[in-house]
Structures are given as structure tokens and as C-alpha cells.
Amino acid sequence: MRSAFAIRLRRDSLRLACRAEAHASASARVSEGWKIFLVVLAGVVALHTLRANAQGRGGSPLKPASQAAPIDITGNWVSYVTEDWRFRMITPPKGDYTRVPLTPEGRKLADSWNPAADEAAGQQCKAYGAAAIMRVPARFRVAWSDEQTLRVESDAGMQTRIFRFAPSSPPRGRTWQGHSIANWDTPARKLVVTTTNLRAGYLRRNGVPYSTDARVTEYFVIAPVGQNDQALIVTTIVEDPRYLQRPFVVSSHFKRDTDPSRWSPAPCVATW
């Protein structure tokens, strides 16, 4: 016969085994419960994201960019040069890069500027690229190409900029106007445009350079002038790790041009 000790030992072993099994079962239930909770949570997050993507700012349904615009920058505009006259209205002398935070390499390149060589090489549009075109004294026409695309044309240099509100990849090859992605900052009532994929060009007509690594960010806002007029203010920020020590920031002003007959397209020139 088994001793009382052996019987008691077997009974305790069975009790422990039952407890372990119960614990394992409870743990499995908890684990399964967590899995279910996480799946439900993921579904809630996904639903919230879909709703957020289906709505514009302020909770309204997402609209095409042309309909969602908090400001209207379409129409004809003309440069209103109230500052930096000597850098914009005439060609500054070689080596005048006042207030441009050039790197030593950038200064060396600016000091070697040769407009005749630019003309001969077919590079006379270097001062009309996206990093500088809004500084060129010119007339601009802004219109919607479609619901998601703004077109900005300048008569000086005969340049055309395309602002895409729909996501898109840069095309192959670099251009003077690069690849521009736009979005509306509705609360601030402004248009934000980021441009990359640029050909190397000039920040100023006298050879002050920016490289193909340049990134241009622009902010377009409308400001009232007097009782009935409006001004378009464009703040341009150029970042270039090669030729600039820090971002180069300028502000350009435009007023509405009510006489379309003044539109006068002219090709790029190396100097004026």
C-alpha cells in the first residue's frame, strides 16, 4: 500500500498541474483578448485615417485644389519693385553679392561670371529659374490648367511654372522651373509651393549661383491695398547646401494688372 505521504504528494502534484493548466488557459484567453483588442484598435485607427483623408481642413469634404483655395491668386500681376532696386531692375556689377550668404565656392563662382559665355552657351535663362523668376521685373499670368494644377507664366523670359497639387514624381532631367508641389495652408490663407529638380542657375543676374541641389520654398499670400486693390506677396526661401551657408530669404510684391494688352513676351537675356 502506498504510504500516506505518497498519496499526499500525488494529490498535491495533481493540484499544481490543474492550477498550471488553468493559468495557461487564462493566459491564452488574455493573450487572445489582447489580439482581438489590437485588431479592433487597428480598425478604429484605419477608419479614422480614412475619414481624415476624406475631409479637408475644418472637417469639410476634400475638394479639388481649385475649389478649396482660401485665396484667389489667378489673374494678371505685375512686379511692384519697392526694394532691392539695384539687384532687380538693373544688372549688378560682378562680385556684388551683398546679403547673399554664399559659401567660398559660391563666391568663387560668382566672381567668375561671364554673361557673354552664358549667351554663347545658350545659358541666358540662368537668372529666370524658379529660385529667381519671381524677382525678375515682369508680368505674370496665373490660371488653373485643371482642378489640381496651377500654371504661372511670365512674359520676361517666357517661362512657365506648373504647380501640382496632386502627388507626382519629378520627371527625368532638370529644368529651369523644376518640379513644384503645391498645397493650401487654409488656416493661414496662403499657398505653399516646394520646388526641386532644378537646373543650376542664378539668384541674381550677375552670376550669384544656386546649384542643382537647391530647394525652393515659396509662400503666396494676398494682402488688401486701399479700398479695392490687392497685392500678391511672395516670400521665397532658397536652401542650397553647396553654394549657400544658410537659407536665402527674399520677399517680392506684385499688384494686379488690369490691362491684358500690356502682356509682352520676350526671350531670356543674360543682362539688361
Q: What is the pLDDT of residues 206-240, one digit of tens each?
A: 999 999 999 999 999 999 988 889 999 999 999 99
Continuous H helices in the chain: 4-53, 65-68, 85-88, 104-111, 115-120
Q: How many residues does the chain have?
A: 272
- Residue 253 pLDDT exceeds 80: yes
Report the percentage of the chain scoring pLDDT > 90. Answer: 71
Q: For the residues 186-205, what does the mean pLDDT come to?
A: 98
Express each pLDDT in 83-129 by its tens digit: 899 999 999 999 999 999 999 999 999 999 999 999 999 999 999 99
pLDDT digits (tens, 9 = 90+) for 42-81: 444 444 444 444 444 444 568 999 999 999 999 999 999 9
pLDDT at 79: 98
Q: For residue 198, which of 162, 166, 174 has the smallest C-alpha distance?
A: 174
